[in-house]
Amino acid sequence: MDLSTKLIHDDNKHNRVPDVAPPINVTTTFRYGKDDLIPWAERDNFDFMDETPVYSREGHPNCTRLETIFSDILDGHSVCYSSGLAAFFAAMIHYNPKQVFLGQCYHGVHCISDIFSRNFKVKQRPLEDIEQYAEEGDIVHLESPVNPYGTCIDVRRYADVAHKKGAIVIIDSTFAPPPIQYAWDLGADMIMHSATKYFGGHSDLLGGILVTKDKKISSQLKEDRINLGTMIGNLESYLLLRSLRTYEMRIMKQSDNTAQIVKYLHENRDRYPHVLTKIYHSSLQKDDFVKSQLVGGDNPVFSFCLKSTEQCKSLPDKLKLFHHATSLGGVESLIEWRALSDDKIDQTLMRVSVGCESAKDLIVDISTALTQLEQEYSNVKI
Ligand SMILES: *Cc1c(COP(=O)(O)O)cnc(C)c1O
């Protein structure tokens, strides 16, 4: 079956009632049935909870549905969490590394690593140090396309070096889930996604996913999740399930829109000489690895720099179709002056998350706003 069919039908086998749309199960606890009276001492794993839920921190019906779909479309055993960061935290707890190698990546991933450094003396190193310092059991965390730029790093190259040293490769593929990018093909030992972004797609839920090829690891992760209390919520699971039905259409439209907008800006940058300085996106990268990583299309986040922070402050107000807000992946286009949420980034950087509106309308909106800014900042009086 193709992706679009899987997203809509993979979880049919979990139907418990005749409803076509699965119910929102708000219950935290489930009545024991006459056939479920098996003492805990006689259970050797938690898998039965997918069929017969007991308590919602341990498992609940819509999480079971989600994990069935994610396991299929992400090609492994999937485990869902209350957020993307809860998923990364779970991976760190599971692998318990002595060192973690990080490049430019989601700031919360750096913050979790800082907690591990503070409490457990986990050493943090840059990706350039893998070859020299990585040892068996260390984690190499690779994010591509990279937040906030929307450009790619050569994932395979880092993964190969990591594997030679016996390190474990986690790929955060949040910025380009399938069918855009298939992280297993790039050398992942574990894949991570923030479902808050493209899978959720409506800016109304938090969720995270880990995917492993090893059933034993996913069972351990599920057991740890019970004890860490990082289960995805009942209501969020329902929202995410609903979102998944239209996921492929959404991301393909977002991908196509982005390609058109970036092409427009790139080809017309001369129109904004007093405003636009740099544009970052994978479609503008010439490296061969980019096309071999983004096999299904362009990733729907790009960024650009303006001449001054003053311009960064005033651009969002001139846009009608881009909300000035953080986050990404939703159907509504967003723009963010990144200085507002990242102190280490270029302070003139604007990040754009492209939504599902018409590309034509988005281009008109962005070019109108840039033209206004150009007129304000050029000496030419119109
Ligand atoms: C948003 C994001 C996260 C964290 O996800 P939450 O669901 O907000 O916890 C991790 N990695 C990337 C690349 C992200 O964009």
Evaluate if residue 380 carries a pLDDT over 70. Answer: no
pLDDT, one tens digit per residue, over 12-47 is 999 999 999 999 999 999 999 998 899 989 988 888
Share of the chain above pLDDT 90, in %: 94
Ligand 1 mean position, distance from CA 231 (Å): 16
> Is the beta carbon of 107 within 6 A of some atom in ligand 1?
no
pLDDT in tens, 104-117: 999 999 999 999 99
Question: 184 burial class (0-12, 13-18, 19+ CB within 10 angstroms)?
Answer: middle
Testing ligand 1's pocket by substitution, the residue of 89, 196, 239, 299 carrying the most ligand atoms inside 8 A of its CB is 196
Q: Which contiguous run of DSSP H or E holds residue 220? A: helix 215-228
The token duo for 350 is 């604007």
Residue 191: strand, helix, or coil:
strand
User: What stretches of 195-310 adopt beta strand conformation (E)?
Assistant: 208-212, 276-280, 301-306
d(CA 313, CA 344): 18
Beta partners for 55?
A: 29
Partners of residue 140 on adjacent β-strands: 101, 169
Radius of gyration of the chain (CA): 22
Q: Which residue out of 112, 174, 334 has the highest number of ligand 1 atoms within 8 Å of its CB and is therefore the one to mutate?
A: 174
Read off the pLDDT of each residue in 131-158 and give the average, rounded to a whole number. Answer: 98
Q: How confident is the model at residue 48 (pLDDT cuts 50, 70, 90)?
A: confident
Determine if ligand 1 sits within 6 Å of the CB of residue 173: no
74-95 pLDDT, tens per residue? 999 999 999 999 999 999 999 9
List pLDDT tens digits, range 315-363: 999 999 999 999 999 999 999 999 999 888 999 999 999 999 999 999 9
Ligand 1 atom nearest to 109, measured from its CA: 10
- Flag whether the pTM goes above 0.85: yes
CB distance 83 to ligand 1 below 6 Å: yes
pLDDT digits (tens, 9 = 90+) for 174-230: 999 999 999 999 999 999 999 999 999 999 999 999 999 999 999 999 999 999 999
Q: pLDDT at residue 164 above 80? A: yes
Cα 241 to ligand 1 centroid, rounded to whole Å: 18
Ligand 1 centroid to residue 178 C-alpha, Å: 16
Cα–Cα distance, 359 to 374 (Å, whole number)? 22
Q: How far is the CA of 317 from the centre of ligand 1 (A)?
A: 26
Ligand 1 centroid distance, CA of 367 (Å): 29
236 lines ligand 1 (CB under 6 A): no
The per-type count for the chain, helices as H runs and strands as E runs, is 12, 12
Q: Which residue's CA is minimally distant from atom 5 of ligand 1? A: 84
Q: Is 196 in the pocket of ligand 1 (CB under 6 A)?
A: yes
Best of 194, 299, 301 for a ligand 1 pocket test (most atoms within 8 Å of beta carbon):
194
Q: What is the pLDDT of residue 36?
A: 87
Query: Which ligand 1 atom sits closest to the C-alpha of 86?
Result: 9
pLDDT, position 139: 98
Q: What is the pLDDT of residue 50?
A: 87
Nearest CA-CA partner of 299 in 244, 262, 336: 262
Q: Which atom of ligand 1 is nearest the CA belonging to 195?
A: 7
* Phi/psi-derived region of residue 39, left when phi > 0, alpha when psi is between -120 and 50, beta in every other case: beta
Q: What is the mean pLDDT of residues 126-146?
A: 98
Q: Choose the residue to mutate in 106, 146, 198, 210 for probing ligand 1, maximizing ligand atoms within 8 Å of C-beta.
A: 106
Measured in Å, residue 106 CA sits from the centre of ligand 1 at: 7
Q: By C-alpha distance, which of 145, 56, 67, 130 is closest to 99?
A: 130
List for the chain the helix, strand, coil content (%; round to 5): 45, 15, 40
Q: Is the CB of 330 under 6 A from ligand 1?
A: no
